[in-house]
Structure 1
């Protein structure tokens, strides 16, 4: 979900905290500092995510810890207290995210959209195949008044363009990932939503022209 926000300029995972500072903070707030199992070596603590966000043209750092409810043991809570205290001392916003409280439909839809993207070196029917069809679909959507659902439109697109079944839906998901198309991310079944509920934000011709180099 962090990746989806346009105002997030950078996302760093498992960002390490200075061990001397975390030891000092643990002592100050009276909670045990974690140690590597079976040793007397203090752990290097990390923030799950350190995000650089653009707010009013300025870069602002925000820290996040993401945990499952069942993982919130006393030891983990102590770690979170240390993380929170360190971030507060640095003037950073700090949020604890409980996975079970995330909007399930939105998370599922973002994964559905992300999985449409091509992996590096993935095979296509020919080089630029999906870029070409993204441009073609943008132009088609701008000109169409199709009254059915997204899946109906995509099935119709596959037939009209003589491409393999499922191509149109993947292209539509790519357009969603590229923000050329937008939808209600809380819809539990977006593929069954009326095509009219999707908003086209790309201008025909802005994407690479069909058949272009």
Structure 2
């Protein structure tokens, strides 16, 4: 029963196409595969993106880490995961290479191949598309993995798109952990507050105070004092700091470990006040 649930035949592929899977951009994009469509072989993640405003379906920790990097970047304009490749094209490339095209084990139906993450970025004032295959490093010495990656590489090469492979060795662990620490706090809209705008008002006060305190104090001491000074429930200031970092109203070096023990000297308020929009 489980195998049948995840199997693909022509009817299922046609249904996915009718549903608009793999189409759209930004908030309207629908990934070809969601975490419900594939058997679990590791940790999967559903995260609401800052760049797109939609829920992203990430099928591994490495995909999740790469997503955090792209979502944090100011140059990225769109992120599309589980991006489908045109099946007749990948079948042609496989035939030219003398490689077997991917098929469903149960139905023998040729599968729609996908690229794990496709992003649009701004480089030197123009939009550029990047396609990235995400694989564990220990998979790259397997002949069948290399064959499928070669199909993917040639597919994107024909389209003039920058394609590459990302493994866990390419992911800056500390930066990823720091972005993950603040990622869920970009928006305050869904949080309970005494009145509309309450948390935004308190956040603005925290921004003004952060650089006025002794630089050698740890963040937790500042936050405890601010909770008392601004008559906020314990833990509110730390949550607001994470929000301010997420919206880039406060900046710090994200390549160094970040938590409530970090020294205040690492934080700098952006002169324009609130940074990246939190809508």
Tell me whether the two structures share a fold, i.e. TM-score over 0.5.
yes
CA RMSD after TM alignment = 2.1
State how 1:153-164 maps to structure 2 within 5 Å.
Answer: 153-164=222-233
For residue 129 of structure 2, what is the aligned residue in structure 1? 61
Cα pair distance change 1:130/1:68, threshold 3 Å: farther
Deviation at 1:78, TM superposition (A): 2.1
Match of 2:99 among 20, 31, 49: 31
Partner of 2:196: 127
Runs of 4+ in 1 over 4 A off after TM superposition: 70-73
Q: 1:122 to 1:157 in 2, by over 3 A?
A: closer
**Paired residue for 2:166, among 93, 97, 101?**
97
TM-score by length of 2: 0.67
1:71 shift after superposition: 4.5
Q: Secondary structure at the match of 1:165?
A: coil
1:170 equivalent among 229, 232, 239: 239
What TM-score do you get using the length of structure 1 for normalisation?
Answer: 0.87
Matches within 5 A, 1:1-213: 1-72=69-140, 73-118=142-187, 121-141=190-210, 144-147=212-215, 148-204=217-273
**What is the number of equivalent residue pairs in this alignment?**
205
| Alpha-carbon separation, structure 2, partners of 1:88 and 1:10 | 20
Counterpart CA distance in 2 for 1:26 and 1:164 is: 61
**Aligned equivalents of 2:149, 2:194: Cα separation in 1:** 49
**CA deviations over 1:129-158 (Å, ceiling 9, x no partner):** 32222211122235x133312222111111
Q: 1:202 to 1:78 in 2, by over 3 A?
A: farther
Q: Deviations over 1:139-183 (max 9, x none)?
A: 2235x1333122221111111111111111110111111111111
- Which runs of 5 or more residues in structure 2 are unaligned? 1-68
